Amino acid sequence: MANARLVENGIVKRVVRLKCRGRVHTVEVDGTEAVPRRAAVVPVPGGVWVSLDGHCEFFEPVLGSVPLPSRAADPEVRAPMTGRIVSIRVKPGDAVREGDVLVILEAMKMEYRLAAPAAGKVATVRVAERDRVEIGAVLVTMAPP
Amino acid sequence: MANARLVENGIVKRVVRLKCRGRVHTVEVDGTEAVPRRAAVVPVPGGVWVSLDGHCEFFEPVLGSVPLPSRAADPEVRAPMTGRIVSIRVKPGDAVREGDVLVILEAMKMEYRLAAPAAGKVATVRVAERDRVEIGAVLVTMAPP
Amino acid sequence: MTKILVANRGEIACRILRTLRDMGISSVAVHSEADKDSPHVDEADEAVQVEGNDPAKSYLNIQGLLEAAGRTGATAIHPGYGFLSTNARFATACERAKLTFIGPTAAAMTTLGDKRSARSTAERCGIPVIPGARECDSPEAAQAIADRVGYPILVKAAGGGGGRGLRQVDEAAGLPEAFAAARREAESSFRDGRMLVEKFIHPARHIEIQILGDGKKAVAFGERECSLQRRFQKIIEESPSPAVSGSLRAALSDAAERLAVAAGYSNAGTVEFLLGPDGAWYFLEVNARLQVEHPITEARFGIDLVRAQVELALGGSLPAPAEPRGHAIEARINAEDPARDFLPMTGRVAALRWPHRPDLRVDAGLREGQEILPWFDPLLGKIIAWGPDREWARRRLLGGLRDLVLAGVPTNQRFLIDTLESDFFVQGETFTTTLESQSWTPPEPSKAMLVAAATAAAPPAPKSKSASPWRTRGSWRMGS
Amino acid sequence: MTKILVANRGEIACRILRTLRDMGISSVAVHSEADKDSPHVDEADEAVQVEGNDPAKSYLNIQGLLEAAGRTGATAIHPGYGFLSTNARFATACERAKLTFIGPTAAAMTTLGDKRSARSTAERCGIPVIPGARECDSPEAAQAIADRVGYPILVKAAGGGGGRGLRQVDEAAGLPEAFAAARREAESSFRDGRMLVEKFIHPARHIEIQILGDGKKAVAFGERECSLQRRFQKIIEESPSPAVSGSLRAALSDAAERLAVAAGYSNAGTVEFLLGPDGAWYFLEVNARLQVEHPITEARFGIDLVRAQVELALGGSLPAPAEPRGHAIEARINAEDPARDFLPMTGRVAALRWPHRPDLRVDAGLREGQEILPWFDPLLGKIIAWGPDREWARRRLLGGLRDLVLAGVPTNQRFLIDTLESDFFVQGETFTTTLESQSWTPPEPSKAMLVAAATAAAPPAPKSKSASPWRTRGSWRMGS
């Protein structure tokens, strides 16, 4: 599996393996790490771009034995973490291409650009700007093109 | 209804009424109109901002056919912006002339004198000195002379 | 190791922090609770929250700022403009805390920052001053001065600036209330209720000279004309002034340099003058700090004034004054409604696209989604255009203002465009009263704007048959 | 009424269109089908789609472009750089169609744009040329020249530029294959298979002089050093060159002006020279058009070269050469992977935030969501920094490159930063072979980058029980 969970002193630590330029990096995170807010974190289908102080790289989660459900098939775009909606870029009925930014979420001092998992139409937008959303909350639902 | 639909030569035309800076504009659209793509169209709750060649305005769809109440006759004096009440110059029952200062509001380090929209009597004073008030909050209500 | 705390927010904090980064100097931002997500916080290496009773008070909290400096190991403080930048107590407190204050010494600031003291220093240097300017503690004392010099007069805060605590009085009847209001504003803005009264020169141009001093010598970096003001606050500035000849420039520069030397002035400062309709000029006041409009001087002289400030404060020597070049104009984008007496506006930045083009500079600290708060100055950003001549700078600035998209909060964008296109601006006929004597009506929205708004406000019915309410109803009727 | 069609795309089309807008001149953009949503289309008053067999061919479709001009009533055409900008047939076709071609006449373009003809013109003017440069139609003829001047040699397209159709050959064995490959590239890029062979000067600096001509006189606007190249394409340019003395500058400027006058050259052009290790210099070629790197000249001379081009083409007179000031450096942001031989990259711009700071100019035509297509040059945009001296310009540019956010397609951003921070750049030791002799390895991602990526790529499991897919499956198992 890509992400193993460890429990240490009651804090859930996750071990994430990420591929960048062909090399696999193993990172332990527990949600308490500080990332400079000037970092841009841009999830796209298949991975995430991170740009910090002029260094921009693409990171691809390394998948283990249990494949994750295909993102492209998921008709629901969910909050990857608890945070606040900064900006909504689409409205119901909009046609979007794969990778188009739907919603910008701010959490842990970083902005997350949540993109369309596949080309399609926006079916519903379930949140408004400035809403606080819990992790896993459905933000946008998609319909086929 | 805000938007009536007309059918003309098989094309559905919509008649939309939009309020901008207090004036209502009636626009016919059938979806074939060309809008310069450099125009920025930004829907927000309650209306839409349009910016084109340095001219940016907020448009509010007008609901219903009932004429809007005249501003001059408005019996409510509202905060034109968010700020703090510096001074209250009237009390309930005072007779005032048009233009008499009722309340002084401080916002963005400047003072705003809110005057009586017409001659009349002060009905109620809804705020106290040093209160923080939100934009649109009713500060004073007026009664006819 | 130098580490500089920037005791400010908004565009000027962002602008200072960027120069520090380019200089390789570590930086600390401070912010109030409400500003914790503001752009300037991201521009610094570290950020410290400072307490205050309202969001603006944090930037006036001397003790809190010194503690933030102590906690982060900052060795110097840049005050920006506004807030504590011209507060001699703050400069003194920094000196006591062994922090380098990036600005003049407290002593020079007191000599020139206080209007009364600046005026007497100017008089001692033989520099003309405005008739009748005297401090007075009561409306009655003000009335006595006004009776001597004649109306109209100005009532203004002795320890302030930026148009706050300032009132024009046209006749004796209006004096008591104007005096009280100006004093209240002065007390709330500057914690200093001392007032001045002076003759109102009309029509006048506002001409100011940029200086850099090292305590012993001072160098002038040309003039800026800042006559276009609303509510006594500058809105469009240019350099050079269309009304300043070479000999006048030399006279004003010489006066500014002499004044700075007389006060032992160090670091950057601005000496303001009024130019009367008869060509006579008068010393107005000194702004003992960086000015909002400093970029137009930078564009012409090829100097980075913030860098010069930092280098001077760290013991560097005065930069040589380069030959100025071309013309520069700045427009201030404010969150305000020019159609309603420039009422400050609040709101949320829903869309933001700054212009990009040669010789156009944007100084701002703003992002999409940002809330414009009522406690602060309405300045959202500045666009500065340079050109080989005035007309080209004007066109470049107009191009930039037309390209700018800033939606979600009403701004003066269209007013700036119309002002830059007006006959009086094209002809350089700009006076401090020009804008208030003109009435401005916003143009009607164009057909294209209305169509765009109508389309967005009431989107057309979906084309897919199944989704059309008309099709559905028709079928129903047929089936019933 | 002047109306100008811009026969180009990308950053240069946007840059030209903005100057036209500031000049109050109506503009027409052209675009291929694939480019119909590209930023340059929005910058013009009108836009016309031009057909082509692939997205780049539209911009090479002479008949289609002339038809677009005819249909929109355009009176002049600005070709930008690349595409048809140095195609004499296009210039001639414009002349025949009574369209003002904003560039040199077809005759001058032929005289100086063709490498062979330019070389003989230079020789007639007494300007030094590179030993052995002769046209040759076969590998055998090339070998004969190489044997005479000695290896290494360069094989290059007689009618091309921009690094295409160019090969370095170190020994006789590699010549046949290199010759064939270069000719293939030349034919596909320029539809012109004529080749030149010349002595390879090493290590050399690439120094070029900007000129403006009116057909009779020519004025030089200083030099640009463009030695830092990868795959023979410039990537970082600066002005002035750290290696050019006042007397060398005067000699190069004089040679460039004499060459332009000899060819009756009008409008903007660039005369390129190689500066050898012994201080000897050689005429290289003429770029009979605006260059990608023109902004560094604009920053130092306070001139808008596009405006000058338009004014000269409309019969205006030559601008007076101003005194240059300070130092300017440009970095080209390319969609390419410097770790894999600068392989061009494609993708979709997922996030874009250009830097803003004093004396930093961004020339780009890019928007979030834009698809970077494989048919075009990988240039995404340029960042140009000015400073009173080289070190300050370098730091400003580094600051701008660090602030830039451009995600979604791999770029050379970090490579540019490392290059500007290298010892050889700091010391001004830049030669045309410097970059290829250095190996660059991208730094490992920092801890902060990894944590940011990990947090975003694999968010923690939802806390709400009902939302967890694992919980749901467990219940099922229990019920079964």
Residue D292 in tokens? 């990608």
pLDDT single digits (tens) D378-428: 999 999 999 999 999 999 999 999 999 999 999 999 999 999 999 999 999
Give A 44-103 residues with CB within 8 A of chain B: 91
Residue C441 in tokens? 């009506």
Predicted local distance difference test score (pLDDT) of residue C221 = 98
C-alpha B52/C-alpha B40 separation (Å) is: 7
| ipTM topping 0.85 | no
* Interface membership of C399 toward D (CB under 8 Å): yes
- Which residues on neighbouring strands pair with residue B56, listed in sequence order? B51
Q: Is residue D289 annotated as a catalytic residue, yes or no?
A: yes
Give A 10-69 residues with CB within 8 A of chain D: 12, 14, 16, 18, 20-21, 25, 27, 29, 31, 33, 35-36, 39-44, 47-61
Residue C69 in tokens? 């400096």
Predicted local distance difference test score (pLDDT) of residue A107 = 67
| Nearest residue of chain A to residue B44 (CA atoms) | A129
Indicate yes or no: CB of A91 within 8 angstroms of CB of B45: no
C-alpha D425/C-alpha D421 separation (Å) is: 7
Predicted local distance difference test score (pLDDT) of residue C166 = 87
C-alpha C164/C-alpha C283 separation (Å) is: 19
Give A 74-133 residues with CB within 8 A of chain C: 86-87, 93, 104, 106, 129-130
Pairs of CB atoms within 8 A across A/D: 145
Q: Which chain A residues touch B45 with a CB distance below 8 Å?
A: 128
* Interface membership of D295 toward C (CB under 8 Å): yes
Look at residue A10 and tell me whether its pLDDT is greater than 60: no
C-alpha C125/C-alpha C36 separation (Å) is: 47
Which of C42, C368, C462 has the CB atom closest to A93's CB atom? C462
* Interface membership of C15 toward D (CB under 8 Å): yes
Indicate yes or no: CB of D448 within 8 angstroms of CB of A52: yes
Q: Choose between A13 and D212: higher pLDDT.
A: D212
Look at residue C398 and tell me whether its pLDDT is greater than 70: yes
Task: List b or e across C296-306, with b for residues whose CB sees 16 or more CB atoms inside 10 angstroms.
Answer: bbbbbbbbbbb
Indicate yes or no: CB of A38 within 8 angstroms of CB of C348: no
C-alpha C368/C-alpha D431 separation (Å) is: 43
Q: What stretch of H or E contains C16?
A: helix C10-23
C-alpha A4/C-alpha D287 separation (Å) is: 59
Query: How many Å lie between the alpha carbon of A33 and the closest alpha carbon of chain C?
Result: 16
Report pTM: 0.79
Q: Which chain C residues touch B14 with a CB distance below 8 Å?
A: 454, 458, 460
C-alpha A91/C-alpha C455 separation (Å) is: 13
pLDDT single digits (tens) B53-96: 999 999 998 864 333 333 444 578 887 777 888 888 888 888 88
The Cα-based distances of A75 to A46, A48, A132, D185 in angstroms read 16, 20, 22, 47
Residue C158 in tokens? 């002795």
- Which residues on neighbouring strands pair with residue B143, listed in sequence order? B121
| Nearest residue of chain C to residue B107 (CA atoms) | C374
| Chains in contact with chain C (at least 3 beta-carbon pairs closer than 8 A) | A, B, D
Predicted local distance difference test score (pLDDT) of residue C234 = 95
User: Comparing C-alpha atoms, which of B83, B62, B71 is closest to residue B116?
Assistant: B71
Distance of CA C63 to the CA centre of its chain: 26
pLDDT band at C189 (very low <50, low <70, confident <90, very high): confident
Which of A37, A93, A130 has the CB atom closest to C459's CB atom? A93
Kindly state the percentage of chain D with pLDDT values over 90. 74
User: Comparing C-alpha atoms, which of D4, D42, D50 is closest to residue D23?
Assistant: D4
Terminal C-alpha separation, chain C: 86
Which one of the listed residues D9, D15, D167, D289 is annotated catalytic?
A: D289
C-alpha B41/C-alpha C456 separation (Å) is: 7
Residue C388 in tokens? 């080989």
Query: How many Å lie between the alpha carbon of A63 and the closest alpha carbon of chain C?
Result: 34
Instruction: Output the DSSP codes for A34-84.
Output: ---TT-EEEEETTEEEEEETTEEEEEEEPP-SSPPPPGGG--EEE-SSSEE
Q: Which chain D residues touch B53 with a CB distance below 8 Å?
A: none
The Cα-based distances of C97 to C6, C72, C215 in angstroms read 16, 14, 21
Kindly report which listed range (A82-96, D21-35, D168-182) carries the lowest average pLDDT score.
A82-96
Indicate yes or no: CB of B45 within 8 angstroms of CB of A128: yes
Give B 123-142 residues with CB within 8 A of chain C: 135
3-state secondary structure of D186: helix
Which one of the listed residues C289, C332, C390, C394 is annotated catalytic?
A: C289
Indicate yes or no: CB of D18 within 8 angstroms of CB of C323: no
| Nearest residue of chain A to residue B41 (CA atoms) | A89
pLDDT single digits (tens) A37-80: 788 999 888 899 999 999 999 999 886 422 233 344 457 888 77
| Nearest residue of chain A to residue B43 (CA atoms) | A91
pLDDT band at C341 (very low <50, low <70, confident <90, very high): confident
Query: How many Å lie between the alpha carbon of C369 and the closest alpha carbon of chain A?
Result: 6
* Interface membership of A3 toward C (CB under 8 Å): no
Per the listing, tokens 């926006």 go with: A122
Question: In this structure, are strands D218-230 and D233-239 parallel, antiparallel, or unpaired?
Answer: antiparallel
| Chains in contact with chain D (at least 3 beta-carbon pairs closer than 8 A) | A, B, C
The Cα-based distances of D366 to B134, D301, D352, D382 in angstroms read 40, 27, 8, 11
Indicate yes or no: CB of B107 within 8 angstroms of CB of C344: yes
Pairs of CB atoms within 8 A across C/D: 82
C-alpha D99/C-alpha C322 separation (Å) is: 44
C-alpha C48/C-alpha B16 separation (Å) is: 50
| Nearest residue of chain B to residue A87 (CA atoms) | B44
Task: List b or e across C20-34, with b for residues whose CB sees 16 or more CB atoms inside 10 angstroms.
Answer: bbbbebbbbbbbbeb
pLDDT band at A14 (very low <50, low <70, confident <90, very high): confident
Indicate yes or no: CB of A91 within 8 angstroms of CB of B43: yes
The Cα-based distances of C447 to B12, B133, C451, C454, D27 in angstroms read 19, 37, 6, 10, 22
Angle between helices D390-403 and C10-23 (to 10 degrees): 120
Indicate yes or no: CB of C401 within 8 angstroms of CB of B54: yes
- Sign of the alpha-carbon dihedral angle for C177, C182, C188, C194: negative
C-alpha D290/C-alpha B142 separation (Å) is: 69
Look at residue C161 and tell me whether its pLDDT is greater than 80: no
Q: Choose between B91 and C243: higher pLDDT.
A: C243
Q: Which chain C residues touch A38 with a CB distance below 8 Å?
A: 42-43
Q: Choose between D165 and B20: higher pLDDT.
A: B20
Q: Which chain B residues touch C346 with a CB distance below 8 Å?
A: 81-82, 135
Q: Which chain D residues touch B38 with a CB distance below 8 Å?
A: 42-43
